Structure 1
């Protein structure tokens, strides 16, 4: 298993895995499959450009992209000490093998290399117990709840808001 930062030439694989995640776990993401499927490949190429505010990391098994995570630094002078982890997804055939844990660890290492970043945040749909456990193991703590954060298939889903200081050690 290799984990590395994705580049614009990974856009096709990134798009395919993103669409799979939105199809298989639609309640876990803020975007819909329809929204993302309508975006051209150039959108994903731009998102993976090394000069943007986000860094997306991919997990590769046998040369195939099987998982990814994005670290997004907050814009603006008053909030750029914060970064968010978004879009974590691992292909179902590669779950329960530590891929998500390794992706989170890679994002945390990247955040520690960003000058001035002191706080990391993530939002997890309340019903997603495995994701919540993963982030708590990585040192995140719940600081709030956003009621009705997402609307999916006629029902509202609450999100738990988690944060950790960039210097927080892993639990366990």
Structure 2
């Protein structure tokens, strides 16, 4: 589940020094560390990661699915895009299935930059829609996505029982073409 701590109303520092690029296998350790460092009950449906840590890239996660934001060679965030199903009739849709911004880089617009880069990447790949799932209590992420044109398209009530509480799974999406 994607998480962010950026508010759409918060002024952001320009991110002119940040570049977004496709991930490579060389990013494996940095992505794994970022994923572990940004684990939060706001977004995670799995327990906190514990050693021994496996690789970030595996049989389900590939470099070509990930865009990374970096500055001066340091990885500050990522967004992972995957097909929501293996069906050919659904190939025009990609789903955000991983999103993180390093804590020390939050509030600079990097999350917004990654969301916009994800939308551009979907279009580059010939897609027409982008979707995501977010926990109902992750209001910062939901606000960011709404500010970037995503709308709630469905709610799975009490889909998860986490830390003694039932939480809704909120499905959001946006069209990228008319």
* TM-score of the superposed pair, with normalisation by structure 1: 0.82
Answer yes or no: is 1:95 the counterpart of 2:110: no
Confirm or deny: 8 A CA contact 1:9 1:45 kept in the other structure: no
- Whole-Å Cα distance in 2 between the matches of residues 69 and 125 of structure 1? 17
> In structure 2, which of residues 29, 40, 54 is the aligned counterpart of residue 40 of structure 1?
54
| Separation in structure 2 between the aligned mates of residue 102 and residue 125 of structure 1, nearest angstrom | 21
- Residue pairs, 1:77-88, within 5 angstroms: 77-88=88-99
Task: Tell me the alpha carbon deviations over residues 112-160 of structure 1, each in whole angstroms, 9 at most, x when there is no partner.
Answer: 0122x22211112111121111111111111111112333222222122
Quote the residue 1:61 is aligned against.
71
Give the root-mean-square deviation of aligned CA atoms. Answer: 2.0
2:41 to 22, 26, 47: 26
Q: Given the alignment, which residue of 32, 49, 53 partners 1:15?
A: 32
Q: Does 1:5 align with 2:22?
A: yes
Give me the whole-angstrom Cα distance separating, in 1, the residues matched to 2:140 and 2:19.
23
Higher helix fraction (1 or 2): 1
Work out which structure has the larger RCO, using CA pairs closer than 8 Å and 6 or more positions apart in sequence.
2
Say whether the 8 Å CA contact 1:27–1:152 is kept in structure 2: no
Deviations 1:23-56 (A, max 9, x none): xx1330333333x855522x52552343xxxx11
2:45 touches 2:162 (CA, 8 Å); kept in 1? no
Change (3 A) 1:39 1:81: farther
Q: Separation in 2 of the partners of 1:132 and 1:70?
A: 17
Aligned pairs, how many?
159
Flag the 1:49–1:96 CA change in 2: closer, same or farther, 3 A.
closer
Which residue is equivalent to 2:15?
A: none
Length-normalised TM-score, structure 2: 0.80
The runs of at least 4 consecutive aligned structure 1 residues that moved more than 6 Å come to none
Unaligned runs of 5+ in 2: 1-17
